[in-house]
Every structure is written in C-alpha cells, then in structure tokens.
Chain A
Amino acid sequence: MKLVTTTGLALLMAVGAAGSAFAQTEITFSLWGSPQEGEVWQEIASAFEAEHPDIAVNVEVADWDGYWEKLRVQVAGGTPPDVFAMDAPLYPDWQSRGVLLNLQPYLDADPEMLDGIYPTTLEAYKTDEGMFGLPRDFQTIVLFYNKDMFDAAGVEYPTSEWTWQDFRDAAAELTIDKDGDGTTDQWGAWAEVYDMEPLWGPVVWSHGGEIVDPEAGETLIDSPEAMEGFEFIRSVWLDDKSMPTSEQLSQYGWDGLLSGVAAMGFSGHWSVPEYSQAGLNLGVVPMPEGPAGRKTMVNSAGFVVSASTPNPDAAWEFVKYATSEAGQTELAKIGLAIPIRESVTSSDAYLGQEADIDHQVFVDALEYANVKPSFKGYEEWSGAVGDALSLAWSEGVPLEDALAEAVDYGNDALAANR
C-alpha cells in the first residue's frame, strides 16, 4: 500500500514537472482608465497572447488616483507590475528614481520599430541614457463647440482661421440668461484652468510667453507676454463673464460642454466618446490664433517596464506589440486617444470611428503643438502653481500678485526636486 502511494506521488510530480515545462511566462500590465478601457486592453492582450502562446498577460485597471497610489505602494513594496502605463509629465519623476527598465538595448536591436511613430510623441521619453518608456498614444487640445447652441443664438460656427478675439466675441454672444432671472444659464465657454493643458498653456504660448525652464529652476509665467495671455483669459472670464466660475460650474457637473451649459470648451480626443454618448451635436476646430501664432499642447501616455521585472523580454514583447500597427489599430477602437502611428491615424480604424466628429483635426494639431513640459518634480510643481494660480481667477487679486505668488511656489517646488 505504501509503495503504491509513493509511486503515485512520483507520478504526480513527474506530471507536474512536465506541466511546468509548458508553463507560460506571466506578466502584469497596469493602467489607469475606465473598466471599458480595461476590457479593450484585455482584448489587445488576448490578440498578443495568440501571437505569443508562451506569454500570458494580466490586465489590471484602476482609476487615475487609485492607480498612482497603488503603483507607488507596489513599487516601494518590491512587487511592481511588469509593464505599466505612464503619463509623460510624470515620467522623469519615475525614471530618475531608477525604477524603470532602460529599453534602449531592445530598441538598438530593433531599430525599425520606431519608424512611422510621430517623432513629437517620442520626445518626452528620451533621456541621456536612452529611452525608458515608449508612447502609447497622444492627445492634442482643440476647440470643441456645440452646434445647436450656435444655431439657436444665430452665431456663425468657429473656423480654423479664428483668433482669440473671435473666440472672445462669440463667447460673449453665447452667454445667455435664458429665463431672465438675473443669473446666467448658458455660458459661451468653459475651461479647466487648474492644469495648464486645456487652456492656459496654449494661451500663454500663443501670446509669446513661456511656462517653465526646469533646467534653470525657473517658472516663467510672469513675463509680460505670458501675462498678456492670462489677462486675456481674465477678460473673458471676469470682465465678460462668458465662462462660469468653478463654483457655478460645480452646480452642473465638472464639464460645461457635457452638462450642456457651455457652448465651447477645450479638450482632447479623450472627451469624444463621452460627448458623443451624451448625444451632443459637436464640432471641432483648431485652437484659435494669438498674437504669436497658433499653439496647442500635446501630451502622451506611454508604457514603461519595471526595472525589477523577472521577465523583461516578455514585457518588451508586449510593449512592442502594443505600439505596433496591429496593437495601435486595436487601440484606436477605444476611441479615447490618438494612435502614435501615422499609418493608423490615416486608416479607417481611427478616421472612421463611430463618434461623428472630424478626427483629422486632432492629428493636424500636431503641426502647431508644443510638448507638455515634463521634468522631475512635475507633480509638485503643477500642484503648487495650480493652487497659487487659482488666485488669478478671482477679481480681488491683481494679476501680477497672483502670478508672482505662483512663480514663488513653482520655483520652490523646482528647487525641492533638483
């Protein structure tokens, strides 16, 4: 009896050993996003697994705040995901701390793989030692407008020739107190002004100003040119009252276009699925032109690989697939972001998306876009500057004072992260 058991055990062990010979390499990919995005990534991962039967990919998705918190704890605890999503402005904070794998050896071994990727999107991931990440997709900011509101007010649609003055005039015309009770019910525009990306960054640039010089540790938003840009936003907001205050806006939601209380807004392609699901009749045009030309901001989300992954090769294969034409074509189906390959943005997968909007406008915006600033300490700097800038959007404080405070806070944050 004992013999039988022992033989059985040995057999079992033999089977187990044989099984592990076929075992797959398992890697984890974490990203921020909605559950729906997670599902699309699961599909991309399945397509990848079909090509690489020896690799299995676990997709983990969390909302933005939860994602970064969890990631910090995972990396600090020594159990990072093998591949994870990165926001370009935050990349230096992670790259400089040695937690990301240098992908340069892989890129050197496979030089053609970057061909056909928009060069602008690669910029943010380059360092002196090589690339520690690759872009996954990119986002440019354009002007969205609600056609129904323009029609109702008899105002002509925005054009690709618009200047900021044209924008201001139309915004004033579209600001309406519909029921005559003394409070505004429809604003010409709304804007998210905490982050530089949707409005104030492009406005500062198109007035000839600069935002930050991280090398020199200087915040530059108090130059006369930049101030002219901020003055413009204040005139639309405080003088014309064509944009809701943040407290007014919060009565309806956080996005004025989505809530149907603003006729224009500034956003990237990420808003398109939500806007189109809400049944809004929208159009898009390039950002208006300022005294120093037309400017917008481009930012990218990317992939990075953990420096301590036990399976760097499998992780690299996944990144390579996700940035390839096949992976990017799948990605285009999510409808949130713009693929990084020209062959995909010019294909039906991107241009023929369900949402009825001119998707080409977002791609063309690359021609006049500057890359969103990205440096070590970005998060602290943007928090400090954003907090201080909120003074600039209230009447009681002179613009110079608000900007001086923002510059002081920003420079402190830069100094703390040298």
Chain B
Amino acid sequence: MMANLRPLGLERAWLLIFLLPTLFGLALGAFGSIFATLSISFMDWDLLTPPVAAGFSNYVGLPDDRLFNQAFWNTLAFAGLYVPLTVVISLFVALGLNRKLPGTTFFRIAFFLPTVSSPTAVGLLWTWIYAQDNGVLNEAITALGGDPVRWLSRDVALYSVVIANVWGAIGGGMIIFLAGLQSIPRDFYEVADLDGAKPWQRLWFITLPALAPSMFFQTVLTTINAFQAFDYIYILTRTGNGNSNMPTLVFSIYRSGFRFFRMGDAAAQAVVLTAIILVLTFVYFRLQKKWGATA
C-alpha cells in the first residue's frame, strides 16, 4: 500500500515543481535570514552607511555591554523560574482534568483560553491586576490588612511577569500533556490494578514514565518560549519612551539594532540567543536518550 504512494518518474519532477514555491520561501525566509544574521554579526553596520567587516569585535564587546548584560541576566532568571513552573503546573492541571467528570470541559476551556487570547489585551488585564492602588491584588491584600506591594517596580517585576507568563502558558502545556495521557494504553493500568498498585504507584511507575516524551517536548518548547518571551513582559514593564523596567534579550536585540543603529551588535546578540537555545535543546536531547533507555 505504502509503496503505491511513492512518486515515480515524472511524478517526482511534478512534485518538485509544486513544492518549489514553498522550498524557495523556506530557503529565502529561514536559511536566508539565518545566514544574513550570521554575516551581519561579523560586521559593523548602522543600517544607513555600508557595513564594515568587524571580525569578532561584536561578540567580544558583548560582556561589557551593560544593557545586554542586564537583559541577559533578566532573561536567564526569567527562564529559570518560568520553565519549571510552566511544565510542572501544566502537568498537574492535565492530570487533574484527565477524567470524565462534569465540568472538565469547562475547566479545559478556561485553562486554554489565554493561549488563544490577544497578548496585548491579556497583558493590559494583568496591568490592572498588578496596579498599585486600585489593582485587584493590592485591594485584596489591603482588605486583609497587609501592605500594598509595588508589583511592577524593578525589584518585584520579575516575579509578577513570571506569574503572568506561566498563567498564559498553562493552556498550551495542558493540551500536550492531555494528548500524552490519552495515548497511554489502558491495559497498563488494568494490569497494575490486578497487581494491587496504589494510585501514587500508578502515577509514579506508569503515568510519569509514559509521559516522558511529552515532558521532553514541552520542556524544549517552554525553554524556547522563555528565551523569546517579549509581549507580556513588555506590556507590563514598559516605561516612558518605549523602554522597559525589565528588558529581555529579544527587547535588547530590537533596541540595539533598530533604535541604537547597532545592527552588528544586535545580530551578535541574536546569535548568542540562538546558541543558548541550541545548547539547551541539545542537553535535553541527551537527557531524553538517557531517560528513554530506562522508560
């Protein structure tokens, strides 16, 4: 059956011709921009005058670039909190909603809603929640007799932003885990029941190992998202003049290139960002192989 579907002779040529526009777009769009970013990172270019070769100077200069450093550590701290929280919480939400009870559909929709909502609108909603005097959170805190917190001030903004972002990401993670949960054969659980396994044993020895591929996938995805996070963070922490209380790497790249006339530095930052994501993904792959062997 499958053999019949393989293209033969002329069909191959037609296949190629029909795929050409897409392949062309991919080559130009994806590989073209990767190549362009790489080459620009080895040049000094202010967009307006012709680029000049700069060797590794853009990379060498990065550790001394205060704005880049600030953005780098902000992003790392953000990812360090955001990734584990998102993966763990969405896993528990999925476990909780993976049963046939009245109301589960409602909760699934409720958790998924942020994923399909406009980040700008949701970001503004969080601005209202975190507002200093009339904010929902501070009104609750003062009603209970506490002191209002400046949620979006420089010291606290990291945590406020992590909370908002995790909330926005639970829905996506939940879907992945629900799909993973539903693909676990029921027989495993039946056998376990016959053996007299307790609920926590079923979770620990069947569900979690079977979910390893989903967890791996979700962790990689969340990590990439963490390093590319921008919209909620910007909306929540922007200051006058279009800057931010908590600049992230993506913001720094945009700002260096398009506002400060430093395309070369921006490209170098983008390459560093890509390298971080690549290294982390590689580590995850390694871990998965190790895990995969035991699961």
Interface of A toward B, CB cutoff 8 Å: 65, 68-69, 72, 75-76, 93-94, 97-99, 182-184, 192-195, 245-248, 250-251, 254, 377, 379-380, 382-384, 386-387, 390-391, 394, 396, 408-409, 412, 416
Q: Of the listed stretches B2-10, B86-94, B127-135, B196-204, name the one at the interface; the rest are far from the partner chain.
A: B127-135
B49 on the A face (CB < 8 A): yes
Assuming the contacts A93-B261, A383-B241, asked whether A248 and B48 have C-beta atoms less than 8 A apart, the reply is: no
Please determine whether A386 and B66 come into contact, CB atoms closer than 8 angstroms. Answer: no
By a CB distance below 8 angstroms, the chain B residues around A183 are 133
Please determine whether B48 and A97 come into contact, CB atoms closer than 8 angstroms. Answer: yes
What residue in chain A is nearest B138 (Cβ atoms)? A183
- Since A98-B49, A247-B132, A386-B241 are in contact, a sample of 19 more A-B pairs with Cβ atoms closer than 8 Å, ordered by chain A residue number, is A72-B258, A75-B48, A93-B261, A97-B46, A183-B133, A246-B240, A247-B153, A251-B133, A379-B260, A379-B261, A383-B67, A383-B243, A386-B240, A386-B243, A387-B70, A387-B239, A396-B155, A408-B66, A412-B64
By a CB distance below 8 angstroms, the chain A residues around B242 are 65
Q: Mask for B222-249, Cβ within 8 A of A = 1, else 0? A: 0000000000000000011111010100
Please determine whether A409 and B67 come into contact, CB atoms closer than 8 angstroms. Answer: yes
B108 on the A face (CB < 8 A): no
Assuming the contacts A194-B239, A390-B154, asked whether A383 and B255 have C-beta atoms less than 8 A apart, the reply is: yes
Please determine whether B67 and A251 come into contact, CB atoms closer than 8 angstroms. Answer: no
A307 to B25, CA, bound (A): 34
B259 on the A face (CB < 8 A): yes
- From A251, A380, A382, B241 is in contact (CB under 8 Å) with A382
Please determine whether A384 and B66 come into contact, CB atoms closer than 8 angstroms. Answer: yes
Q: State which size class the interface on B falls in.
A: 35 or more
A75 to B259, CA, bound (A): 14
Please determine whether B243 and A387 come into contact, CB atoms closer than 8 angstroms. Answer: yes
By DSSP majority rule, is chain B's interface helix, strand, loop, or mixed?
A: loop
Please determine whether A390 and B245 come into contact, CB atoms closer than 8 angstroms. Answer: yes
Please determine whether B152 and A247 come into contact, CB atoms closer than 8 angstroms. Answer: yes
Please determine whether A391 and B154 come into contact, CB atoms closer than 8 angstroms. Answer: yes
By a CB distance below 8 angstroms, the chain A residues around B259 are 68, 379-380, 383
A86 to B127, CA, bound (A): 33
Please determine whether B48 and A94 come into contact, CB atoms closer than 8 angstroms. Answer: yes
In the assembled complex, the CB of B251 is this many whole angstroms from the nearest CB of chain A, namely 11
Please determine whether B132 and A194 come into contact, CB atoms closer than 8 angstroms. Answer: no
Please determine whether B127 and A250 come into contact, CB atoms closer than 8 angstroms. Answer: yes
By a CB distance below 8 angstroms, the chain B residues around A384 are 66-67
A386 to B244, CA, bound (A): 10
What residue in chain B is nearest A381 (Cβ atoms)? B260
Please determine whether A387 and B127 come into contact, CB atoms closer than 8 angstroms. Answer: no
Please determine whether A394 and B153 come into contact, CB atoms closer than 8 angstroms. Answer: yes
In the assembled complex, the CB of A25 is this many whole angstroms from the nearest CB of chain B, namely 25
In the assembled complex, the CB of B269 is this many whole angstroms from the nearest CB of chain A, namely 14
In the assembled complex, the CB of B267 is this many whole angstroms from the nearest CB of chain A, namely 14
Please determine whether B66 and A72 come into contact, CB atoms closer than 8 angstroms. Answer: no
Assuming the contacts A251-B135, A387-B247, asked whether A416 and B262 have C-beta atoms less than 8 A apart, the reply is: yes
A91 to B178, CA, bound (A): 56
Interface of B toward A, CB cutoff 8 Å: 46-49, 64-67, 70, 127, 130-135, 142, 150-155, 239-243, 245, 247, 255, 258-262
Please determine whether B260 and A380 come into contact, CB atoms closer than 8 angstroms. Answer: yes
A76 to B47, CA, bound (A): 5
What are 21 A-B interface contacts by the 8 Å CB criterion?
A: A68-B259, A72-B48, A76-B48, A194-B243, A195-B241, A245-B132, A245-B153, A246-B239, A247-B132, A247-B151, A247-B153, A248-B132, A380-B260, A383-B241, A383-B243, A383-B255, A387-B239, A387-B243, A394-B154, A408-B66, A416-B262
By a CB distance below 8 angstroms, the chain A residues around B150 are 245, 247
Please determine whether B154 and A251 come into contact, CB atoms closer than 8 angstroms. Answer: no
A72 to B66, CA, bound (A): 25
Please determine whether A387 and B135 come into contact, CB atoms closer than 8 angstroms. Answer: no
What residue in chain A is nearest B132 (Cβ atoms)? A247
By a CB distance below 8 angstroms, the chain A residues around B240 are 192-195, 246, 254, 386
Q: Which 7 A-B pairs have the closest CB atoms?
A: A194-B240, A247-B132, A380-B260, A97-B48, A76-B47, A251-B131, A183-B133
By a CB distance below 8 angstroms, the chain B residues around A184 are 133
A117 to B57, CA, bound (A): 46
What residue in chain B is nearest A69 (Cβ atoms)? B258
In the assembled complex, the CB of A116 is this many whole angstroms from the nearest CB of chain B, namely 33
Assuming the contacts A65-B242, A192-B240, A248-B132, asked whether A412 and B154 have C-beta atoms less than 8 A apart, the reply is: no
A301 to B92, CA, bound (A): 57
By a CB distance below 8 angstroms, the chain A residues around B260 are 377, 379-380, 383
By a CB distance below 8 angstroms, the chain B residues around A68 are 259
What residue in chain B is nearest A183 (Cβ atoms)? B133
In the assembled complex, the CB of B264 is this many whole angstroms from the nearest CB of chain A, namely 11
By a CB distance below 8 angstroms, the chain A residues around B135 are 251
In the assembled complex, the CB of B135 is this many whole angstroms from the nearest CB of chain A, namely 7
Please determine whether B67 and A387 come into contact, CB atoms closer than 8 angstroms. Answer: yes
Assuming the contacts A194-B239, A248-B133, A251-B132, asked whether A75 and B258 have C-beta atoms less than 8 A apart, the reply is: no
A72 to B45, CA, bound (A): 12
